[in-house]
Amino acid sequence: MKLRVIVTLKNGVLDPQGKAIQHALAGLGFDGVEDVRAGKIFELEVAEGTSDAAIEEMCRKLLANTVIENYRIERA
């Protein structure tokens, strides 16, 4: 079973990487980029029958830092 976990910074948490990318794009001449937020994506291949609870626990324990990050699980 394929799934992907998207980890993004919570709103209100500063994102210097995103800001740097935004400024770099402006420097390259791309106008109109109003905001950039950088995040992580993990593509997992897990055994069929892995429970939703187990997947949630993987996110909370390892993949995301829930103090500053949100995670979203998408099934492919």
Residues in contact with its own copies by the rule CB under 8 A: 6, 8, 18, 21, 24-25, 28, 30-47, 49-50, 54, 57-58, 61-63
Nearer residue to its own copies within complex by CB, 41 or 68 = 41
- Contact present, 41 and 7 (Cβ < 8 Å): yes
- Contact present, 20 and 38 (Cβ < 8 Å): no
Give me the least distance between CB of 70 and its own copies, in Å please: 12
Kindly state the tokens that stand for 51.
């429970």
Nearer residue to its own copies within complex by CB, 57 or 67 = 57
Give me the least distance between CB of 37 and its own copies, in Å please: 4
Kindly state the tokens that stand for 32.
């109109």
